[in-house]
Chains A and B, each alone.
Chain A
Amino acid sequence: DAKTTQPPSMDCAEGRAANLPCNHSTISGNEYVYWYRQIHSQGPQYIIHGLKNNETNEMASLIITEDRKSSTLILPHATLRDTAVYYCIVRAYSGNTPLVFGKGTRLSVIA
């Protein structure tokens, strides 16, 4: 079973920041938080991952709480093309272990 809890759906106005929360209260010390997204009928796309420090790349920012029990993915300026299902996944960083997907959050960006 997935080790994360996410809201089933969220809306965001185009051009505004989209903040997607994730709860992972049982995360272990060697587990990272990964975010993927899946646009309709496509394969999932990697967004970002982190251990305990905040991370930023060209797509998004990842904010992890100090106790590591929750995190937030931030899309700074959402566009219509960001409409997708977003998956938060907790995974150990070694041995090429498979990903365990929950149902994710369906983000709808509205014009």
Chain B
Amino acid sequence: AQSVAQPEDQVNVAEGNPLTVKCTYSVSGNPYLFWYVQYPNRGLQFLLKYITGDNLVKGSYGFEAEFNKSQTSFHLKKPSALVSDSALYFCAVREQTGANNLFFGTGTRLTVIP
């Protein structure tokens, strides 16, 4: 069975400070991992993905995420937060050889305080 946990419903960070949004996953095989962002009244937008290779993945809008196999984590990070980063963030996983659909976490609301 596949699952994703986002342990924090809400993350607050001051503008200009680094941010981290946590994600841990569970799959029976090797994972493909994704981060999506959702702005109010808009669809999910793809940020970045881990497929294979380098554990540090860089994505859109200055975001990056680090795949840690031993800790089964894929935390989203950004060195300097912007007010415009405030949104709902979803981590998702699929098995490399399993079902085609994505399994999503429950989301983390990021608020960047000016």
* Binding between chains A and B: no
B contact set with A: CB distance below 8 Å:
none
